[in-house]
Structure 1
Amino acid sequence: MNKNKILIVEDDIVFCKLLTRFLTKNDFQVLDAQAGKEALNLLESNSFDLAILDYRLPDMNGIDILKKIKGKENNTKIILMTRYGDEGIANKAVSEGADAFVSKPINPTELLEVIKGL
């Protein structure tokens, strides 16, 4: 599967930009958002092969965004990021259609392996 266009939704700006730079260097086209509303605006005007969603955002949670993506574009793969210990949230995300989840703190190289495995 071609996963060239990625949406990252992460409210920690430094971490978000770190992931964006890392994935761009690995030949992905990446757009990012720091809030759910901003992500939904990007989804209105773009189609993504993959979305990497933080669960905890200032204005909504990652599962809300996941549902919007799956309602619009069912081919988009979803990775949900949760803090270590949030396995219940991760299980809910998978039941809602997430393809994978990763626990924070995230090692970018390990995230790249998850992406390649989708």
Structure 2
Amino acid sequence: MMNTNILIVEDDNVFCKLLTRFLSKKGFLVKDAQDGKTALKLIEQEEFSIGIFDYRLPDMDGIEILQIIKEKNPTTKVVIMTRYGDEGIAHLAIAKGADAFIAKPINPIELLEVIQGI
């Protein structure tokens, strides 16, 4: 699991940095972006083993990013974050190739368990 490259895309800057710090301390190599455009630039520049994408972003949704990252690297595992109660989106995400989804508010320990399980 070491040297696992993770890309987090989350428009809430504080929450995004919190997850980045948490996962970095657990030994992951983490990059983050607050919008889809920045995420796509990062995806072009390097390969990620895991993507953790918020469904609702200012410029696109997490499923669009999911499809782009899977096209470039089909082995990338993707976790979609949705607001509590967005079960329909979670099912759509799985249908489009997401490996897991997690409902907000997110407990970092729970996220770590999801990452280790995919």
* TM-score normalised per structure 1: 0.97
Q: Tell me how large the CA RMSD over aligned residues is.
A: 1.1
Q: CA deviation at 1:68?
A: 0.4
Q: Residues 45 and 91 (structure 1 numbering): CA distance in 2 closer, same or farther, change over 3 Å?
A: same
Equivalent position SS for 1:7: strand
Gaps of 5+ in 1: none
Aligned partner of 1:78 in structure 2 is: 78
8 Å contact 1:11–1:33 — kept in the other structure?
yes
Aligned partner of 1:114 in structure 2 is: 114
Q: CA deviation at 1:50?
A: 0.1
Alignment map for 1:84-103 (pairs within 5 Å): 84-103=84-103
Q: CA deviation at 1:65?
A: 0.3
Equivalent position SS for 1:74: coil
The 1-side partners of 2:100 and 2:3 are apart by 14
Equivalent position SS for 1:58: coil
Q: List per-residue Cα deviations over 1:73-116 (Å, max 9, x = no partner).
A: 00000000000000000100000000000000000001000111
Q: Identity of counterpart residues, as a percentage?
A: 64
Aligned partner of 2:27 in structure 1 is: 27
Aligned partner of 1:59 in structure 2 is: 59
The one-letter amino acid of 1:113's match is E
1:38 partnered with 2:45: no
Q: CA deviation at 1:10?
A: 0.1
Aligned residues: 118
Q: CA deviation at 1:46?
A: 0.7
Q: CA deviation at 1:3?
A: 6.7
Equivalent position SS for 2:103: strand
Q: CA deviation at 1:70?
A: 1.1
The 2-side partners of 1:4 and 1:30 are apart by 8
